[in-house]
Amino acid sequence: MTATTLITLRETLEASLIVGIILAYLQFTHNQRYNIAVWLGVMAGVAISLLLAVLMRVYFGGLTGTTEAIYEGITMLAGAGLITWMIIWMMRQSRTIKKDVEHEVAVHLQNNHPLGIFFLVMISTAREGVETVIFLQAALAHTGGIWHMIGGFIGIGAAICISFFVFRGIKLVSLRHVFKVTSLLLILFAAGLTAHGVHELQEAGWIPVLVQHIWDINPIVTLEGFYPVLHENGAIGSILKTLFGYNGNPNFLEVMAYLGYMFGIGLLWIRFSVSTEK
């Protein structure tokens, strides 16, 4: 599993969950005539996300040097921040999301307001789509490679399949467990993004290095193009770097950024885990 697979799996699941709740409620209340508004909202949300992806590619795809480092650093830190917000939001809303969405749909049905349902779905889908675009920009700046884009499509396909079976009443997996596991993995990924974002801003001269290479455990490359398994470009090291921000030779502020993020998100996790259990 690549970081892009994890990101698209999680975001598509969240969007599918909301759309599925709305469609199920419309069927339960015998208002399937509004289904068209739901699907138009989905298409509009996807279109907005794709438009943002194209604009980011056009305006930021050709950056080089210091400007590229600044863009990548800011994108990575923004991605880490959005991942954190997404995880905390889901933890807070997990118990009430179905009731809240159904209440909003009920209000629009009472007022015979299909546009309200359209905009509800469009905003929900676009929100997840925009987050995905920013996450993928950060992930690809961090790792790059065509395989990560393929992994992203695999994540979307897997999420759609899971959602289909869930709303058909076929419980292959527990969504709660899926969200919990993906949240933990995304936290590790976000910590790596935070550290690497700091590194990029250091390269741009925005942040000082202070102490270079707190440690250096990258094995020596013995042959050109061949790396030992624990090297950042090796079989295991590259996977750890992609998913968890593995760095064999970090500087002081990178380590502090990684540990600081993990400490902060750990406190938030404990706080909201306790509050949601009450």
pLDDT (tens digit per residue) in 7-35: 888 888 888 888 988 998 999 899 999 99
pLDDT (tens digit per residue) in 50-105: 998 888 888 877 777 889 889 889 989 998 998 898 888 887 776 678 888 889 99
Token pair of 165, please? 């079976």
Count the neighbouring beta carbons within 10 Å of the beta carbon of residue 147. 13
Q: Which residues contact 169 (CB under 8 A, 6 or more apart)?
A: none
Helix (H, G, I), strand (E, B) or coil at 62: coil
Identify whether the C-beta of residue 13 lies closer than 8 Å to the C-beta of residue 163: yes
3-state helix, strand, coil in the chain (%, to 5): 75, 0, 20
Please give the backbone phi and psi of residue 272, each rounded to the nearest 5 degrees, phi first: -80, -25
DSSP category for residue 32 = G
Beta bridge pairs of residue 226:
223
The whole-model pTM stands at 0.81
**Rounded to whole angstroms, how far apart are CA atoms 57 and 5?**
20
